[in-house]
Amino acid sequence: MSDKVENSKNMRVVIKCGGSILNNQAELTHIIAGIKSLIEKGYQPLIVHGGGPEISQLANKLGIKSEFKNGLRVTDAAMLEITQMALLGITNPKLVAELNKQTIKASGLALHTLGALIAETLDIATYGYVGVVTSVNPEPIYQLLANGFIPVIAPLAVDENWQILNINADLAAAAIAKAISAEKLILLSDIDGYYSNYPDPSSLVAELSLTELQHLLTTDNNSISAGMIPKLEACYQAVGSKVNTAHIINGNKAAALANIALGIAQIGTTIYKSSSNNTAIDKSTLQTKGASA
């Protein structure tokens, strides 16, 4: 790992965006503008993307029905192949090409093919090949950053036997942010942040400490919308390690990404560290409530 990358570790920002951004030109424009602002300020952004809409569309074209249990896409062998085709054949290359077209040096990175994103199955009998990340080797990420490229990462992993697993993109982003000691984890959503009374936008919660978030996830998670569970858990996992802050913001709003990353404005929901001694949350409590790609 180069000295340049090591010395700039506190300037790294991991951004998670949904695969649907390719079908939303306004959101894509906002994200690209935000990334350019970060680069100009000396930050090193990384992107982890989902691909739910593309997976569902491809499955429909192939006559395979998408099935969800507790918010998770059931990923049998056929759906796993479709997931790989959508993520690696559609979403990732299109996003990389769009960034490069806008003069942002970017490169697709399939960490699972390098054995650099390791996971274990959540519950293969119930969900099929859906995984939970257990370790990340950040060296391929460092190599791209050292050469001035933004890594664009698909949320796929392998287990110890090199079986490919589908990973929730929010949780994959959190694992990567932890591994590289990122300054911030930013999760782009289609709403303004966490609503205490979903879907009422007036109930937006601007800030949560780790202690408050832990209490929310372990004692009150039935009141949280299914799609928000993995985002909040991802924030908890990231900030509970070496990541300074985590943010859930609306990716459809102009300048939102740049504003939150550069500390220009308080928007969305911010999770910050607490002085209390927080313990890890059991994956069985939370993982089943979120959606995989």
pTM for the whole thing? 0.90
Can you give the pLDDT at residue 293? 63
Q: What is the pLDDT of residue 288?
A: 40
| pLDDT attached to residue 220 | 62
Can you give the pLDDT at residue 20? Answer: 81
Give residue 221's pLDDT.
Answer: 62
Does the annotation place 244 within a ligand binding site?
A: no
CA trace torsion 129, 288, 230, 175 (10° rounding): -50
Question: According to the annotation, is 52 in a ligand binding site?
Answer: yes
Q: What is the pLDDT of residue 292?
A: 56
Q: In what order do the strands lie in the sheet with 12-17?
A: 106-109, 150-153, 44-49, 12-17, 184-189, 245-250, 269-272, 207-209
So what CATH class is 9-272?
alpha beta
Structure tokens at 238: 């990231």
Q: Is 51 annotated as a binding residue?
A: yes
pLDDT in tens, the chain (293 residues): 444 444 444 699 999 998 888 788 888 999 999 999 999 999 999 999 999 999 999 999 999 999 988 778 999 999 999 999 999 999 999 999 999 999 999 999 999 999 999 999 999 999 999 999 999 999 999 999 999 999 999 999 999 999 999 999 999 999 999 999 999 999 999 899 999 998 899 999 999 999 999 999 988 667 788 889 899 999 999 999 989 999 999 998 889 998 988 888 889 999 999 744 444 444 444 444 445 56
CB 247 within 8 A of CB 268: yes
- Contacts of residue 241, defined as CB under 8 A and 6 or more positions apart, other chains included, come to 178
Q: What is the pLDDT of residue 279?
A: 43
Residue 47 and residue 94: Cα distance in Å, rounded? 13
